[in-house]
Amino acid sequence: MILPQRDTYEALYRDFRWEIPAKFNIGYAVCDEWAEREPDRICLEHFSPDGQHLSMTYGMLKDRSNVFANALTALGVRPGDRVALLLPQSFETVVAHVAIYKMGAIALPLALLFGAEALEYRLKVSGAAAIVTNKFGLTRLKPIREHLPELAHVVSIDGGEDGVAGFADLVAAHPPLFEIAETGPDDPALMIFTSGTTGPPKGALHGHRVLRGHIPGMQFAHEGFPQSGDKLWTPSDWAWAGGLLNALLPSLMLGVPVVSSPAQKFDAHMAFRIMAEMGVRNAFIPPTALRLLKAIADPRSQYDLQLRTIGSAGEALGRETYEWVRAALGLTVNEFFGQTECNFVISSSAAFGVSRGGATGKAVPGHRVAIVDTNGREMPVGESGQIAVHRPDPVMFLGYWQDERATEAKFAGDWLLTGDLGRQDADGYISFIGRDDDVITSSGYRIGPSEIEDCLGGHPAVQLAAAVGKPDAVRTEIVKAYVVLVPGYAPSEALAADIRDWVKTRLSMHEYPREIEFVQALPLTTSGKVIRRTLRERAAAEISAS
């Protein structure tokens, strides 16, 4: 799936045509198709802090995934069964993913950051038959395993124990030959739970076609991806749609090596070290992580960076961060947009002349995107409404797992309603305003939090910020900001007043935060999105307690 050679975005969008084959298997596309042609081609590299970096070829990935597919089959896992992956970025994670797809089973990626309650909910709802994890994951699993009667098999990459099979032991007992299931584009391949920013997480089920659907976006955002020497890294958890579908799987399908790194709390110096030492040319870095990189002064003087492209998604990037990356790294961030149910449908691409600070971008070739009302009627240029995607679309989910009512509610006619508010200008640029639930109503104004947070982020003392509506008897709501300070700054009333004035003079009198609370950290999903719902509830509780 290659974007046509065109000089302009308009020609590219006009001339693009989908080519979805009648038979398609993600496991074959990201592994065997390359292994049959270039078995010694590097597909994975792993960064080790001690400098003992590792690598894997497509030929090795083919053999190991075949062996593990045989092992799962011997355990009784069948096509259509859900197999959970509770793992960090690692070679074993990729081996397990590829094996599951080859079998015709359904991969269920889960984040190691999940607590026992969140983990139990997802395993129970999905009816997972097996799980592949590590020693840390086992500690999360043990208290809840007796509540999961359908979870018949537990495999640990750190070795077996009572009631747990060892990954290496299973692999050693089976041959490296496996007949890949003949799957079609709409056969289920992957279930990713929504992040739960606005309600209980739901299992979004995707067909094998979802991978091919992501290729145009990858090639657009990463400016002609792949090019000679390209190598991709993301700090995002591969359990998230961003890390898996905006980075890992499309890169492997296109023959681009992917760098993995040990699970850790995001550290700006370590991120720059990984990119420099591993020769990373392409990075997918969510906005929150990009803002944390700002803690490093003049990074190009400290690290030998070879970056060619940076993509970002998950939350609004904002003009301040956009401009900082340009100044500090000499690159234009290509922001893109999507969600678990329908991903990578809007993007910027500086190489194609689609780039504007403060705007997310334009519809990726192959996708029809519009701003609509709740009934699916397209809104006039400049007016806000829901960002919507027209079906059919290869990246669109098959539906929510065992929840037809929720699936139907996601659509207005043939428009999938993302629940995210945006507006489109006369040039076709779409700007993200915020989740519909996050919009603040104050003194008759509807205020999107993203613009306020972007402005707050430009203040020299602010590292991260979130804006929410706090109930108010006079104004309905007031804007309250929760602020994480840059190291070296101390909370004070004077600093809060200065931050308020910063926003007041740069945005408007009705948008500045009337209250500012300094916090050590913001509540984040495993994908790095701020959970504003938690902050809204916290602000509302203050009213109840007063």
Q: What is the pLDDT of residues 480-535, one digit of tens each?
A: 999 999 999 999 999 999 999 999 888 767 788 999 999 999 988 766 778 888 99
Among the candidates 179, 206, 233, a domain finishes at 206
User: What is the predicted pLDDT for the residue at 475?
Assistant: 74
Q: What is the CATH number of the domain that holds 122?
A: 3.40.50.980
Residue 512 inside a domain? The answer is: yes
User: What is the predicted pLDDT for the residue at 526?
Assistant: 62
Percentage of the residues of the chain whose pLDDT score is greater than 90? 77
Query: What is the number of domains present in the chain?
Result: 2
Helix (H, G, I), strand (E, B) or coil at 421: strand
User: What is the predicted pLDDT for the residue at 204?
Assistant: 97
User: What is the predicted pLDDT for the residue at 263?
Assistant: 79
For 381-414, how does the pLDDT look when each residue is reduced to its tens digit (9 = 90+)? 999 999 999 999 999 999 999 999 999 999 999 9
Averaged over 278-306, what is the pLDDT? 93
Residue 220 inside a domain? The answer is: no
Residue 85 inside a domain? The answer is: yes
Residue 87 inside a domain? The answer is: yes
Domain with 101, as residue range(s), is 59-206
For 190-208, how does the pLDDT look when each residue is reduced to its tens digit (9 = 90+)? 999 986 555 578 999 999 9
CA distance 257 to 169: 28
Parallel, antiparallel or unpaired: strands 42-46 and 54-57: antiparallel
Residue 140 inside a domain? The answer is: yes
For 427-441, how does the pLDDT look when each residue is reduced to its tens digit (9 = 90+)? 999 998 877 667 787
CB-facing half-sphere around the CA of 401: CA atoms within 13 A: 26
Tokens 């980075």 sit at which residue? 247
Q: Is 102 left (phi over 0), alpha (psi -120 to 50) or beta?
A: alpha
- pTM assigned to the model: 0.86
Averaged over 74-100, what is the pLDDT? 97
User: What is the predicted pLDDT for the residue at 127?
Assistant: 98
Q: What is the CATH number of the domain that holds 505?
A: 3.30.300.30
Among the candidates 189, 206, 223, a domain finishes at 206
For 433-462, how does the pLDDT look when each residue is reduced to its tens digit (9 = 90+)? 877 667 787 766 667 787 788 889 889 999
Task: Let me know: does 309 contact 324? Beta carbons within 8 Å.
Answer: no
Residue 44 inside a domain? The answer is: no
User: What is the predicted pLDDT for the residue at 311?
Assistant: 98
Residue 430 inside a domain? The answer is: no
User: What is the predicted pLDDT for the residue at 4?
Assistant: 86
Residue 525 inside a domain? The answer is: yes
Among the candidates 156, 180, 206, a domain finishes at 206
Decide if pLDDT at 359 tops 60.
Answer: yes
For 105-145, how does the pLDDT look when each residue is reduced to its tens digit (9 = 90+)? 999 999 998 888 889 999 999 999 999 999 999 999 999 99
